Amino acid sequence: MNSRSHVVQICGILALVVLLAGCGAFGSAGDDSDRDPYGVDNTTSPELLPGLTENEVTNHRALLENHAETLSNRSYMLEQTTTRTYPNGTVSYTLTETMAVEADGTARVELTEGMADEADDTALVEHRFGEGWGTEEEVLTNFAVNRSDEEPPTFYRQARTKYHFTAFESVERGMSAMDNISISTKAEGKTRYILESAESSPYQYENASLHMVVNEEGYVESYRFAYEELVDSEMMTVVMEVTIDRVDEEITVERPEWVSEAREYFDEQNGASTDDE
C-alpha cells in the first residue's frame, strides 16, 4: 500500500469513528439585549422548524437536534458516501456507510471502501472492511470483518445516544462551515426546505458548497457538502453525501455473528481491569 492509500484509509476509519460517535449539543438562550438602541424590536420571521426561518438558518445546531429527535423511534435507511477525486476527475477513494434502522432503534451498518488501484489509478478496488451494530444501550463496531483467526479483533464499543445513525456530525460539519445559507421551499406532496450556500467561513474550506433538503417533519432527506483540500501536493475534491429514505417503512436487520465475540471480548477486558484494581 502506498503512502497516499495509507493516508486516505486512515481518514476513512477516522471518519467512521466520528460518524458513529455521539455528540454533545449546545443550547442558546435569548434575552432583551437584542433590542435596538431606540427600544424598537427587530422583526423576525416565524420559525419553519427549530433553528430555521424562511429567510435564514438562525441556529444550525437546533435544526440538527430536531433532525435527530425526529428520527427517534422510527425506521429508516441512511447512506453516507465520502468521495475524494483527483483534479482530472479520477476517483482516488470512496467510503460508503449503509445503515438500516428499525423503529426500536436496532441498527446495522455496513462499511465499504474503494481505493485507487496502485497499478491503474483509473480503477477502483472496493471491499467491505467494517460493520456496526446498535441497540438501545450500546453501539459496537468491527473494523476487521475479514480478519483471519490469528489476527486480533478490532472492536469498539460506545454508549448509544440519539445522535448515532443520524449523520449528525457529518451534516453539522458542512452547516457550521458555510455562511449566508439561502432558504427556498418546494411543495410537492410534503413541503421540503432547500438550503444552499457557496460561501464558506474564512479559513474553513476552499471552494466549498452546500446543498441539503430538510423534510417538513424536520429530518434531513439529503445533504451534499463539497470542498477542496491539499493531499500529497495535489488539490483533491472531497464530496460528502447523505440520503435518508424509507422512513416508517418495515425494516428488519439481522445481528452479525461477530457481535457475540465482541461482547465476550469486552467482558474479558472489563474482568481484567477489575482484577488489576
What is the per-residue pLDDT across 11-54, written as a single tens digit (0 to 9) for each?
555 445 444 554 433 333 334 434 444 455 556 689 999 999 99
Q: How far apart are CA 107 and CA 99, in angstroms?
A: 7
Number of C-beta neighbours around residue 6 at 10 A: 11
What pLDDT does 96 receive?
96
One-letter amino acid of 124: L
pTM of the complete model: 0.81
Q: CB burial class (10 A; 0-12, 13-18, 19+) of residue 156?
A: middle
Among 13-22, 71-80, 238-247, the range scoring the smallest mean pLDDT is 13-22
DSSP state of 57: B
Q: How far apart are CA 277 and CA 272, in angstroms?
A: 9
* 136 pLDDT higher than 50: yes
* 271 pLDDT higher than 80: no
Q: Looking at domain 3-17+47-276, does it have CATH number 2.50.20? A: yes
Number of C-beta neighbours around residue 264 at 10 A: 11
More confident residue, 245 or 144: 245
Grid cell for residue 277: 484494581
